[in-house]
Chain A
Amino acid sequence: MSYSRKMITGERIVKNGFINFWRNIWLSVAAIAMMLITLTILLFAVIANATFGHTISDITSHIDVSVYLKDSVTDAQRSQLIQKLYNIDNVKSVTYLNKTQALKNYEADNANNPDLLSAISQTDNPLPASLNIKPKDPNQLQSLKDFLDRPEITAMQSDPTSYSGDRKAAIDKITSATHFFQQAGVAGIIVFIFISMLIIFNTIRMAIFNRRDELIIMRLLGASTGFIRGPFIVETMLYGLVAALLSLGAVAALFAVASQTLQASSLGLLDINYSNNYFRNRLWQILTIQILAGIIIGAVSSLIATRRYLKHHR
């Protein structure tokens, strides 16, 4: 077949695909709806995965150990202590916070609470200076703890060392929850892809059944397999395309309308603003993935459906 004939045939296949799409509009709607659900779940899974990951690294980076120093500790003693802390393997950084800064921070934190602010003042600053230690690995705090528990060190401390221990437990929970959601997400995506492929498969089989006379005539008139099959595949790829656009639109609308509600319902564990930004910043990537996934799901199911038919009707 010459090049121009191939072009003409390709054009006709696409055109017939569009015609089929409209001719079976209700079947198309059903298939698109199913595909829409599948792609939306896929999208949610991707966003949720990113958000969980972000939340974990965010909390992890906030884990620190605060050593509160007595007012009597001299500059020399403090420098020595900092030096010793740096000798411990797991210590990433040590920041010194003097009394004045501690007070400023306190005032900033409680700017909306005049009662608390009036309780302390510059002249009689009860807040201790502190060393803020960031560990490299928040799960390996034992060596640091051992060091800080030495009597000569505790002697310098005004208050017991503050570990973000409660946070550690929360992080562990979130990590295992993330793991669970990842697995559930993958399983869910597989199940929904399977269901939408089944539905598209049946849609195409019904379309084939509706048009069997035409297909037989096409065969007898010498239509190539591609010419018969092509429009069905174009039709299902259209399902994927439409579903991908709708899915993206629906998720965008959800973020636009319900960000606040989502933030509240996530119990503060997840940063929905991050999800929102993640979604917005990767809009084109996400759209591409959605469209590709939709088109592939559609094409594969219609390929299987038409292959079965064409095998039995030469």
Chain B
Amino acid sequence: MILLDRVSKTYNRRGVALERISLHVEPKEFVIIVGPSGAGKSTLFKLLTREEKPSSGKIIVGGMDYEHLKDRDVPLLRRKIGVVFQDFKLLNNKTVFENVAFALEIAGISNNEIKHTVPKVLEIVGLKDKANNYPQELSGGERQRVAIARAIVRQPKILIADEPTGNLDPKHAWDVISVLEKVNRFGTTVLLTTHNMEIVDKLKRRVVTIEGGQIVSDKAQGKYRNQ
């Protein structure tokens, strides 16, 4: 469960990024967050992964109140939230297998378990036969699926996908989205931001629209800017 209660974020230089945002996401929900660039979507995600602290308001994720979160607990929090970025953020000197394994190494998982788990996750994202390839040898869509595999390999309760299709052509974009739907079916809460109107409209999921740092609409089975 994700709960944001009147959360504001003000930057010293850029001014107000989010203003009194309140949002409630149930477990296993699939929520699409839309809005123009600079509306505050990325800030919202940074608050959830604790890259930023809110200026005011309350954030509770999976029963953890961020107000009482100590700096040394932040890594543990991040291990419970999977993150996928527009620019993939893969390590180019590591193979697909090693990139996914990296997330488990960080968490102190044994090598045996890594050998056992990683192929399974690569199978979920449809990249089992690319395990020994390097990211440069893959298409954008494949790279993003590696990133998703890395994000879900620790079986997080929440997966945050920040513009995962932003750099992809339509076919590959749909590959990525269908993997996200699959992950969601397995029981992971998915938060997705996208500028792709077609994806938003076809998914028929809950759509939260943010503009100027505020939530301007929140509709089940919503459409792109359909207020």
Interface string of B74-111 (1 = CB under 8 A from A): 11111110010000010100000000001101111111
Q: Verify B78–A220 contact, CB threshold 8 A.
A: yes
Which chain A residues lie closer than 8 Å to B50 at the CB level? 314
Answer whether A6 and B108 are a contact pair too, CB < 8 Å, given A214-B91, A221-B150. yes
Q: In the complex, which residues 211-268 of chain A have their Cβ closer than 8 Å to any Cβ of chain B?
A: 213-214, 216-225, 227
Q: Verify A8–B75 contact, CB threshold 8 A.
A: no
Q: Verify B72–A222 contact, CB threshold 8 A.
A: no
Q: Verify A222–B77 contact, CB threshold 8 A.
A: yes
Which chain B residues lie closer than 8 Å to A218 at the CB level? 102, 106
A4: interface (CB < 8 Å): yes
B49: interface (CB < 8 Å): yes
CB of A214, distance to nearest CB on chain B (Å)? 6
Q: Verify A12–B105 contact, CB threshold 8 A.
A: yes
B65: interface (CB < 8 Å): no
Answer whether A216 and B106 are a contact pair too, CB < 8 Å, given A222-B75, A222-B76, A224-B72. no
Complex-state Cα separation, A9 to B110, whole angstroms: 9
Binding site for B on A (CB under 8 A): 1, 4-6, 8-9, 12, 213-214, 216-225, 227, 314
Complex-state Cα separation, A9 to B75, whole angstroms: 14
CB of B63, distance to nearest CB on chain A (Å)? 17
Q: Considering only CB atoms, which chain B residue lies closest to A23 in the complex?
A: B93
CB of B84, distance to nearest CB on chain A (Å)? 10
Most chain A beta carbons < 10 A, residue from B49, B50, B76, B89 = B89
Complex-state Cα separation, A225 to B49, whole angstroms: 16
B51: interface (CB < 8 Å): yes
* Given A12-B108, A225-B75; 10 other pairs, CB 8 A cutoff: A6-B108, A220-B51, A220-B78, A220-B89, A221-B83, A221-B106, A222-B106, A223-B75, A224-B106, A314-B50
Which chain A residues lie closer than 8 Å to B71 at the CB level? 314
Which chain B residues lie closer than 8 Å to A227 at the CB level? 75, 106
Which chain A residues lie closer than 8 Å to B103 at the CB level? 221
Most chain A beta carbons < 10 A, residue from B74, B76, B80, B106 = B106
Binding site for A on B (CB under 8 A): 49-51, 71-72, 74-80, 83, 89, 91, 102-103, 105-111, 150
A–B complex contacts, Cβ < 8 Å, 17 sampled? A1-B108, A5-B109, A9-B108, A12-B105, A12-B108, A213-B89, A220-B78, A220-B89, A221-B103, A221-B106, A222-B77, A222-B79, A222-B80, A222-B107, A224-B72, A224-B106, A227-B106
CB of B74, distance to nearest CB on chain A (Å)? 7
Q: Verify B83–A220 contact, CB threshold 8 A.
A: yes
Complex-state Cα separation, A16 to B89, whole angstroms: 20
Q: Verify A8–B72 contact, CB threshold 8 A.
A: no
Contact of A221 among B51, B102, B109 (CB under 8 A): B102
Q: Considering only CB atoms, which chain A residue lies closest to B74 in the complex?
A: A314
Which chain B residues lie closer than 8 Å to A222 at the CB level? 74-80, 106-107
Complex-state Cα separation, A255 to B80, whole angstroms: 60
Q: Considering only CB atoms, which chain A residue lies closest to B79 in the complex?
A: A222
Q: Verify B109–A8 contact, CB threshold 8 A.
A: yes
Which chain B residues lie closer than 8 Å to A220 at the CB level? 49, 51, 78, 83, 89
CB of A307, distance to nearest CB on chain B (Å)? 13
Which chain B residues lie closer than 8 Å to A5 at the CB level? 107-109
Which chain A residues lie closer than 8 Å to B83 at the CB level? 220-221
Q: Verify A221–B91 contact, CB threshold 8 A.
A: no
Complex-state Cα separation, A217 to B102, whole angstroms: 10
Complex-state Cα separation, A221 to B49, whole angstroms: 10
Q: Considering only CB atoms, which chain A residue lies closest to B49 in the complex?
A: A220
CB of B75, distance to nearest CB on chain A (Å)? 4
Q: Verify B76–A8 contact, CB threshold 8 A.
A: no
Q: Considering only CB atoms, which chain A residue lies closest to B107 in the complex?
A: A222
Q: Considering only CB atoms, which chain A residue lies closest to B113 in the complex?
A: A8
Most chain B beta carbons < 10 A, residue from A4, A222, A224, A225 = A222
Q: Verify A217–B110 contact, CB threshold 8 A.
A: no
Which chain B residues lie closer than 8 Å to A219 at the CB level? 78
